[in-house]
Amino acid sequence: MRTPNALRDKLRGQWRNGGTRRRRLLRQDQWPLTLPIGKPAPALVAGDIAAVRAHIERWRGVKIGEVRWEAVSYRSLAAAVELPVSWVLHSLEQWVEAMADADIRREYRLLSSVITAVDPQFHPLIVQQRQQLLAQGAEETIRVCVVADRLTPGCADGRPLRALSIAGCDSKFFERNRPLLTRLLELRFGPAVAEQGLEGFLGALDEGKHWLLVAPLEPDLLPFEQLRLRSSELCRSDLPGSHLIAVENERSLYQLPPLPGTIAVLSAGLNLSWLQAPWLDDRALAYWGDLDTWGLSMLATARLQRPHLKALMMNAATFSALALEHAVVEPVRADPQPPAGLDTQEQALYRDLYDREQGRLEQEFVPMELVHRVANRWRSGSL
């Protein structure tokens, strides 16, 4: 048989379990919650009836929720005895009160204030990851959710994150709240946020860890085979050559052919503001990314920087030729409407990919022979 204090300890342990806490706070089907109390063993009833009476009195003193009783017969007793057999909590509020813990009451008040104020799509993460809330407080956590709801891919437009003024956030806001903000954006936009990094995804001036990979496609064009630069440094780096190709994914470098006078810049994501660099004014430019709504969105962002930029292998013909064998589901699609920067055919492709169940063709599944053929045609000016 369990005492009220033993079951309170069990309830406190459940509160500290993130998954259980999330279900209890956010799902109505969790209530009522029935906790079995158990019955005294016949030997205890026969040998220490005083302990049984004390157990009964302890449960008679419980005023939160509903204690259910049952008449139980024992050989050692002349008549059946009414015993507590289960403790039923009918609501979340009763659960919180039943735990009789001042810290948990405070946490619940904080969580309730945040849940009431922010978009429901963020509720599970906030409840699961309550340490941010306890460390920063309700007001800051609400502000992080508001900012996450307003940010869009590429919205920084080349500015550093600290320069973004949204919902009254200060210059240290992104530094303080980067982990939670990244996870909230992943709820909205999927794995692209983590894959590209916060700066890359928002198109912000990269002052942190997100580096671009620069690789010459002609031997001896640069005094290195590969180099990592931040986008701000690339803007100032007047690199040699006549052609430059921006590539979404770093892992596709091996697919590119040798091209005279050409430099490849890889792994930029949505951080494409470096394309505004004046030294690129006289370069022939191309872009190659995944064939999905996010890849076309990045192409559109690049086009807004450089309207005459050529898209490589990002057309309906390429998708049709390879989709049967290689197309997969895009985990989270971009906006339903095609972004500005795409031409008429690319807009139609965007809508088609958005509507498909398997509307994603990743770069690494484009055959190397096709990549070489198209890249060489672009370099020769015949594309």
- Kindly state whether residues 284 and 351 are assigned to the same domain: yes
Beta-ladder partners of 292? none
The number of domains in the chain is: 3
Q: Are residues 223 and 346 in the same domain?
A: yes
Domain span holding position 304: 212-380
Q: Is 160 helix (H, G, I), strand (E, B) or coil?
A: coil
Domain check: are 294 and 363 in the same one? yes
**CA distance linking residue 154 with residue 172, whole number of Å:** 20
Distance CA 173, CA 253 (A): 35
Does a structural domain hold residue 207?
no
How does DSSP assign 230-248, residue by residue?
Answer: -HHHHHH----SSEEEEES
Given 202, 229, 245, the domain boundary residue is 202
Residue 86 sits in the same domain as residue 166? no
91 located within any domain: yes
In this structure, are residues 200 and 163 in contact, taking their beta carbons and an 8 Å threshold? no
Q: How far apart are CA 249 and CA 314, in angstroms?
A: 14
Asked if residue 239 belongs to a domain, the reply is: yes
C-alpha to C-alpha distance for 371 and 376, rounded to whole angstroms: 8
For 95, the token pair is 């659960």
Cα–Cα dist 65/48, whole Å: 29
How far apart are alpha carbons 166 and 148 in whole angstroms? 10
**50 assigned to some structural domain:** yes
Do 89 and 169 belong to one domain?
A: no
Q: Rounded distance, CA 170 to CA 166, Å?
A: 9
225 and 303 share a domain?
A: yes
Same domain, 45 and 158: no
pLDDT at 171: 64
**One domain for residues 241 and 351:** yes
Dihedral, 240, 297, 228, 188 alpha carbons, nearest 10: 170
Q: Which of 202, 228, 260 is the last residue of a domain?
A: 202
- Indicate whether 217 and 336 sit together in one domain: yes
Q: Is residue 19 situated within a structural domain?
A: yes
- Cα separation, 205 vs 198, in Å, equals 10
Separation of alpha carbons 274 and 345, rounded Å:
26
The whole-angstrom distance between residue 71's C-alpha and the CA centroid of its chain comes to 53
Task: Examine residue 296 and state whether it is found in any structural domain, yes or no.
Answer: yes
pLDDT tens, 67-84? 999 999 998 888 899 999
Residues 221 and 338 in one domain: yes
CB 196 within 8 A of CB 269: yes
Tell if the pTM clears 0.75, that is, is over it.
Answer: no
What pairs with residue 245 in β-bridges? 264, 286
Q: Is residue 307 part of a domain?
A: yes
User: Do 136 and 79 share a structural domain?
Assistant: no
Cβ atoms of residues 272 and 246 within 8 Å = yes
Residues in the chain predicted with pLDDT less than 70, given as ranges, are 171, 205-210
Which one of 202, 236, 260 terminates a domain? Answer: 202
Q: Pairing mode, if any, of strands 66-72 and 81-89?
A: antiparallel
Question: Do 262 and 152 sit in the same domain of this protein?
Answer: no
DSSP string, 63-120: -SSEEEEEEE--TTSSS-EEEEEEEEE-SHHHHHHHHT-HHHHHHHHHHHHHHHHS-G
Evaluate the CA torsion angle 293, 299, 303, 309 in order and state its sign: negative
